[in-house]
Amino acid sequence: MQLYNTLSAKERAELIEKAGKERLTISFYIYAKIENPEIFRDHLFLNWNQQDVLGRIYVAKEGINAQLSVPADNFNLFKDFLDSISFLENVRLNIAIEHDNFSFLKLKVKVRDKIVADGLNDDSFDVTNKGIHVEAEEFNKLIDDPNVILVDMRNHYESEIGHFKNAVTPDVDTFRESLDIIEADLKDHKTDKKLVMYCTGGIRCEKASAYYKHKGFQNVYQLEGGIINYVRQVEAQGLENKFIGKNFVFDERRSERISDDVIAHCHQCGEPADLHTNCANEACHLLFIQCDACKEKMENCCSASCQEVIQLSFEEQKNLRKGQGNSNDIFKKGRTDHLPYKRDLRNIFDILNKTS
């Protein structure tokens, strides 16, 4: 009985290309009580592996968080399987704006303590007492209200390439980190302002809205289905699009273009750019923004030292990585000191802070 991947990403990509069939990139989540996540995990893998479903899925006692690539001609079979599970029947499916047949190249179903790492003690507050869910049309009206504080619940490297107009975009690396920072920054407006939140697909706001209500915020709202659902409703209903730039996504596509605006900059030269790339040096693999000119000049590397490494043979690179573990740069998401543009910005901020 196969319960794990047997093909490499390269082998899977070759099979997808050979099949020549369109695939849909889909995400969904739901908070539900799952008594035995391990058994549920195996049930999902066995069925989705047969349907040629790929993706990254987290299962916990509190629910499921799934990002998937599904063959288009298997969609009905996929949906029927979901509907056969009581708490997943008619679950909202966020279908990507831009599809890529290679968005996921493996099926990974993992059991976790939580479906989103939030660092919260769920027993300390009522997680079901959530904020008011609003669709795109109502969301647009709300964020035009001067009595509203609009907060992006995503991380800095997500909002850097795209966000809603006039949104507060916390300079944080993790969702867990953002929760207390946002509360502290908005502590004086718990009763006199409306707190409106959004994220990629809605899952982070589900927990955050309940947490902030527990912390005393009186008027809490969240964008139903997140940015993905918002864009689909805007297009279907002919509404004004208030999102500028690109929507960061956690698969091989890395982003979806929502508007023509390029609001970010290359982390190496500072020119307008909003394409994330991973450093070609496998020992680094830093995720950062790189323009086409720097990409060519630096051979897809984040630094001259990494560029030197990729000139070595495969065996030499492998030997260099032995015993090193993962580079800390992987997790800095474009904050490292050797990125010139980002370093220069930090120096400017330090000077301003010292003179203010």
pLDDT of residue 98: 83
Architecture of the domain made up of 9-111: 2-Layer Sandwich (3.30)
Q: What is the helix (H) or strand (E) element at residue 286, kind and residue range?
A: none
pLDDT of residue 282: 87
Asked whether residue 270 carries a pLDDT value surpassing 60, the answer given is yes
Note the pTM of the prediction, 2 decimals: 0.85
pLDDT of residue 351: 45
Q: Spelled out in words, what is the top-level CATH class assigned to the domain 122-237?
A: alpha beta
pLDDT band at 99 (very low <50, low <70, confident <90, very high): confident
Asked whether residue 261 carries a pLDDT value surpassing 80, the answer given is yes
Cα distance between residue 312 and residue 299, in whole Å? 13
pLDDT of residue 352: 44
pLDDT band at 348 (very low <50, low <70, confident <90, very high): very low
DSSP letters for 61-118 = TTEEEEEEEEEGGGHHHHHHHHHTSGGGTTPPPEE-SS--TTS--SEEEEE-S-SS--
Per residue in 283-320, pLDDT (tens digit) is 888 999 999 999 999 999 999 999 999 999 988 888 88
Portions of the chain given CATH number 3.40.250.10: 122-237
Tell me 283's DSSP state: T
Strand 220-223 with 132-134, pairing: parallel
* Annotation marks residue 291 as catalytic: no
- In percent, the amount of the chain with pLDDT more than 70 equals 93
pLDDT band at 354 (very low <50, low <70, confident <90, very high): low
Residue 53 · residue 46 · CB < 8 Å:
no
Q: What is the helix (H) or strand (E) element at residue 173, kind and residue range?
A: none
pLDDT of residue 5: 77
Q: Work out the average pLDDT over 255-273.
A: 95
Portions of the chain given CATH number 3.30.70.100: 9-111
Q: Work out the average pLDDT over 33-58.
A: 95
* Nearest C-alpha neighbor of 228 from the set 261, 196, 203: 203
